[in-house]
């Protein structure tokens, strides 16, 4: 067996439905970069998932390319990782249909994300929103992924993927690899700067709760100066996610930026209040993001390069994904074309 085949496979994706945030960088992309040598990695821009809620077409196109540029600027090397746009690989839609015939209505009805999204989009509870996890199962199973780096909110979808794979394998033999959710050891869970009890989300772009990777330094500084700390406790920098959620979140961010431990940060700011701490975190984030923003902006001006990356990514992805679809179609009894 050659080197490539012995490595485990990783697949993950982010919907280009909003700009990438500091949370997606620190909680996901930053950790993906380190996996490239040890694993066979696929990272997708999940544009087909994005259209389960209404998107402005020009904006979606712009954000998809921008997200690709940001992936690369964050250090995901397109030579070492397969970076591709979901809609460029027809196998995703093809396998999703087949798998939807092996997914139960009841299972999909129990998905908490569906229930949340249906509540939020009461005027557009479309079938795609409902079958979203089947498409996600197809994304994962097409590449025979062993590990799927996801946040807590997506774990249920990976569990469902396993149930679908298990059901299919039980009938047709070992067609799919059983994937597992993968929470990297170093993954940081970054919370909103305004409501630190909830995850930093791109939906909070307007109220200052989230920082995006391409935000200008002055906007980043404003978000951190205005970040919510904990008014009910003493004005001191101490890590305690139970009672000091806001400050602990800022410490987490500062720790990722500087590599300092919580103990070191506590010492650095001992005797100083939040008023001194918050702008320092802001500055550290500005410096962390500066090279990423500059590189992403440079790449976005180089359309030909970006095009070569997503073309090559789609070609590589389609090779692997096509093989899985052909196998599935054969098992199902479709006449080979």
**Of 6-14, 189-197, 241-249, 266-274: span binding ligand TRP (CB under 6 A):** 6-14
Binding of residue 247 to ligand TRP (CB under 6 A): no
- Is position 202 annotated as part of the catalytic site? yes
**Angle at the Cα of 76 (from 5 to 1), degrees rounded to 5?**
5
Contact yes or no for 81/29 (Cβ under 8 A) = no
* 274-295 as b/e: b if 16+ CB within 10 A: beebbebbbbbbbebbeebbeb
Dihedral in degrees, nearest 10, Cα atoms 149, 150, 152, 156: -100
155 catalytic, yes or no?
no
Stretch that binds ligand TRP, among 5-13, 76-84, 182-190, 229-237 (CB under 6 A): 5-13
Strand order in the sheet with 147-149: 81-85, 40-45, 9-14, 147-149, 180-182
- Catalytic annotation, pick one of 7, 117, 260, 331: 117
The correct pick among 47, 139, 204, 215 for binding ligand TRP (CB under 6 A) is: 139
Residue 58, both tokens: 């020009």
> Considering only 7-15, 116-124, 226-234, 284-292, which stretch makes contact with ligand TRP by CB under 6 A?
7-15
Please check whether residue 238 is in contact with residue 247, taking contact to mean a CB–CB distance below 8 angstroms.
Answer: yes
Mark whether 216 is an active-site residue.
no
Candidate residues 154, 194, 203, 258; the one interacting with ligand TRP per rule CB under 6 A = 154
For residues 14 to 53, the per-residue mask of contacts with ligand TRP, x marking binding by CB under 6 A and - elsewhere, is: xx------------------------------x--x----
Active-site residue identified among 199, 260, 278, 331: 199
State how far the alpha carbon of 169 is from the alpha carbons of 141, 165, 174, 177, 332, in Å: 12, 6, 5, 9, 12
Q: Would you say 165 and 133 are in contact if contact means Cβ atoms under 8 Å apart?
A: no
Decide if residue 150 touches ligand TRP (CB under 6 A). yes
The residue to which tokens 């990423």 are assigned: 292
11 binds ligand TRP (CB under 6 A): yes
Sole binder of ligand TRP in the list 148, 193, 221, 321 (CB under 6 A): 148
Catalytic residue from among 80, 202, 260, 331: 202
- Beta bridge partners, 199, equal 191
Measure the CA–CA gap between 301 and 62, rounded to whole angstroms.
12
Q: For ligand TRP, give the closer residue by CB, 69 or 150.
A: 150
Query: Using the rule CB under 6 A, is 140 a contact of ligand TRP?
Result: yes
Q: Write out the catalytic residue numbers.
A: 117, 199, 202
Q: Which residues form the interface with ligand TRP (CB under 6 A)?
A: 11-15, 46, 49, 136, 139-140, 148, 150, 154
């Amino acid at each position: 067996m050659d080197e490539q085949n012995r490595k485990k496979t990783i697949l993950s994706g982010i919907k280009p439905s909003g700009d990438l945030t500091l949370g997606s960088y620190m909680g996901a992309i930053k950790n993906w970069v380190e996996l490239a040598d040890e694993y066979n990695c696929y990272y997708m821009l999940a544009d087909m998932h994005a259209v389960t809620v209404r998107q402005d077409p020009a904006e979606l196109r712009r954000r998809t390319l921008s997200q690709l540029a940001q992936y690369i600027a964050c250090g995901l090397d397109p030579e070492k990782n397969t970076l591709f746009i979901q809609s460029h690989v027809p196998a995703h839609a093809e396998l999703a249909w087949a798998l939807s015939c092996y997914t139960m209505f009841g299972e999909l009805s129990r998905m908490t994300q569906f229930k949340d999204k249906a509540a939020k989009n009461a005027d557009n509870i479309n079938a795609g929103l409902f079958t979203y996890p089947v498409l996600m199962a197809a994304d994962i199973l097409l590449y025979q992924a062993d590990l799927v780096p996801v946040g807590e909110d997506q774990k249920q979808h990976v569990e469902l993927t396993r149930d679908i794979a298990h059901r299919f394998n039980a009938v047709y033999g070992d067609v799919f690899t059983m994937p597992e959710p993968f929470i990297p050891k170093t993954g940081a869970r970054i919370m909103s700067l305004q409501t630190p009890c909830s995850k930093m989300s791109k939906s909070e772009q307007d109220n200052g709760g989230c920082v995006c990777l391409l935000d200008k330094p002055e906007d980043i500084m404003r978000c951190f100066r205005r970040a919510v700390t904990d008014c009910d406790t003493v004005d001191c920098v101490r890590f305690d996610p139970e009672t000091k959620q806001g400050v602990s979140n800022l410490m987490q961010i500062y720790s990722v930026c500087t590599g300092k431990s919580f103990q070191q940060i506590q010492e650095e700011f001992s005797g100083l209040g939040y008023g001194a701490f918050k702008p320092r975190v802001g500055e550290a984030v500005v410096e962390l993001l500066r090279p990423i923003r500059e590189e992403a902006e440079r790449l976005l001006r180089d359309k030909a390069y970006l095009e070569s990356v997503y073309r090559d990514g789609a070609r590589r992805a389609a090779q692997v994904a096509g093989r899985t679809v052909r196998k599935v179609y054969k098992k199902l009894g479709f006449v080979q074309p």
